Amino acid sequence: MSEDFTAPAPLLDGFSQDASSSARPPRRRRRWGWVLAGILVLVLAVAGGLTLLPSRSGPAPARLVAMAEIPGYQAAVNATGAALERQRAELKSGRLFQFVPATRTGQDYIQEFLADLQTLQASGTVLAGSLDQDQAVLRRRLTAYTASVQDLEKKFRELAPLGLQGRAKDSVSGRTITFTGKSSPKGEVTRLEALSRGYAAEPDAAGSYIPSATALAGTFGLSVDWDIAKLSAACPSSNAPDQDLVAAFCSATPRVIYANRNTSAADYVFNSPVIVSAMKHELSHYLITLRCGTPDPRLAGTRFEAVTNSYAVIFLGAGFDDLQPRSDVPHQEYAMTADTDAIARKIHAGSCS
């Protein structure tokens, strides 16, 4: 407003007034009024502008939710821990070897499975601190975690590669095992059957084939207990051993074969390859258990002993004459036929019922 402002004329000494001066009010006072009015309008406009500024706070942010708050989370982690403890107990009792070969390859596979379960349990615990604003995202993560545990257990039941890498210390041997996630004991049964067919049994210095039969069982990861009285303790439902019993297999203790030193034909059986063929019969019970979960699958019916004999002759190389009973002796339930051979082949192919 400087261009509109005129400085007042200097005052003269004394005071005079004429008609012209009384008719016109001083411009100075009016111009100052316009200036003040302009300033007032400007201040009001600024003040009004201040009241119209938008708020910077906005809506409150959504709350972060922890995985531990999602329904079902703790149950899923607890289920993984329970599965781990259950499998450890099954390993300790030997029952896992009803499904997994008891060889070093099979034992390492079990250790890998347990290590993977333990890893999943730990990752599930860490998952508790996972945060997100969207609960649906957390539920999807929980679903994926549960699916990973179920997938691992499914692969184990199928003896398939487990897919996870890691390291674990064997609680029995103390050795550290490195896992690639690619191993599988599926080929172990085939390998063991081929080993048995080519097994060269030899007598010891005293002419006994017992050491050779025991060594064959050892290649399968099994031991032989020559105290037959222990059989009834392991399998209370089994019949009392009769005088002709040479050896027996109990699925409750699948890593042990029970043998009877006092069998009625001890001299003949133990001092000839017959004891080795008898051992192959018991090893066939074990391999059938690996395939079917039981030594007497439904497909074999009441003739499971004869079917086991057929399995031993066809797939493990047992001597037919060593195992086939004569028609004039007891225990004809062991007698092999074309029918029991056919059933043995079906079981070997994976049909159990």
Boundaries of every domain in the chain: 65-184, 187-348
Structural contact between residues 185 and 100, judged by C-beta atoms closer than 8 angstroms: yes
Q: How far apart are CA 180 and CA 183, in angstroms?
A: 7
- Give whole-number Cα distances, 242 to 226, 248, 326, in Å: 15, 11, 18
- Full pLDDT tens readout for the chain, 353 residues: 444 433 444 333 343 344 444 445 555 555 544 443 444 343 434 444 444 445 556 666 778 999 999 999 999 999 999 999 999 999 988 889 999 999 999 999 999 999 999 999 999 999 999 999 999 999 999 999 999 999 999 999 999 999 988 887 776 677 888 898 999 999 999 999 999 999 999 999 999 999 999 999 999 999 999 999 899 888 886 666 678 899 999 999 999 999 999 998 899 999 999 999 999 999 999 999 999 999 999 999 999 999 999 999 999 999 999 999 988 888 899 999 999 999 999 999 999 99
Among candidates 271, 168, 150, which has minimal Cα distance to 210?
271
Q: How far is CA 246 from CA 243, 289, 323, 340, in A?
A: 8, 20, 11, 21
- Give the type of residue at 161: P
CA distances 43 to 48, 130, 293, Å, are 8, 54, 93
- Percent helix / strand / coil, the chain, rounded to 5: 55, 5, 40
With CA atoms as reference, report the closest residue to 86 among 117, 124, 126: 117
Q: Give the global pTM.
A: 0.76
- CB distance 120 to 152 below 8 Å: yes
C-alpha to C-alpha distance for 44 and 54, rounded to whole angstroms: 18
For the CA atoms of 284, 290, 294, 296, the dihedral, rounded to the nearest 10 degrees, stands at -30
Residue 19: CB partners within 8 Å, gap ≥ 6? none
